[in-house]
Structure 1
Amino acid sequence: MKKIEAVIRLEKLEDLKAEINRDFEISGMTVTQVLGYGNQKGMKEYVRGKAVITSLLPKVKVSFVVEEKDLESVIDRILLICSTGEVGDGKIFVSPVEEVIRIRTRERGKEAI
């Protein structure tokens, strides 16, 4: 199993959620509001006529666990939906998941997802 964490633009969340739920057997996802910066280095806003540089931009981190057979398909779908071609589209992180345990039933592995 693999854990996918995608840091994306907030406005892409609903589209991504709908596509993932429709096309893949993913039983759940975790969504977290986050702040950060990368190559974009923030943005300049004007407040009462004065320039203010916001260095941490609001993003959304979406996390879910998939079987290895679905990994590349899910990544491709995230790239398709979340890419605008502009700086600030986000990042995808993939990491191995050694074990999953459902607390209520003590199920392990695929059954616990």
Structure 2
Amino acid sequence: MQQITAIIRPEKLVEVRSALSNKGYPGISITRIEGHGKQKGLTQQFRGGVYTIELIPKIKIDIVVRDEDVKGLVTTIMDAAKTGETGDGKIFVSPMTQVFRIRTGERDESAL
């Protein structure tokens, strides 16, 4: 099992959720976060003043999948989230050693 963590633009959330649902993965966790990468924030003008926004709003998606599904779902997320501009986000894949379903006590892949 693997955990896929994707950091995406907020405006791409609907597209990513729809793409994951179409692939048969409707169960995801979503967290609203703030951060920045290499771009170090945004500079904007408002009422004649220049303001720097250091932490940019992003969406963090977590999904735990079977090993054989990782490559396809990473590609699905990348295709749905990509704009081609700086700040599209990142995807991290980490090993998941154990999963438990609280209600039934199922473990590992049967708990997915």
TM-score (norm 1): 0.94
User: Corresponding residue for 1:28?
Assistant: 27
- Measured after TM superposition, the shift of residue 28 of structure 1 is 1.1
Q: Secondary structure at the match of 1:7?
A: strand
The question of 1:80 aligning with 2:79 is answered: yes
Once structures 1 and 2 are overlaid, which stretch shifts more, 42-51 or 67-76? 42-51
User: Corresponding residue for 2:111?
Assistant: 112
- Measured after TM superposition, the shift of residue 46 of structure 1 is 2.1
Letter of the aligned partner of 1:80 in structure 2? Answer: D
Q: Secondary structure at the match of 1:21?
A: helix
CA contact (8 A) 2:4 2:92 kept: yes
Letter of the aligned partner of 1:101 in structure 2? Answer: F
Instruction: Name stretches of at least 5 consecutive residues in structure 1 with no aligned partner.
Output: none
User: Corresponding residue for 1:19?
Assistant: 19
Q: Which whole-Å CA distance do the structure 1 matches of 2:100 and 2:80 have between them?
A: 30
CA root-mean-square deviation: 1.1
Please show how residues 27-66 of structure 1 align to structure 2 within 5 Å: 28-66=27-65
Q: Secondary structure at the match of 2:90?
A: strand
TM-score (norm 2): 0.94
Which 4+ stretches in 1 moved above 6 angstroms? none
Q: Secondary structure at the match of 1:53?
A: strand
Percent identity at matched positions? Answer: 40
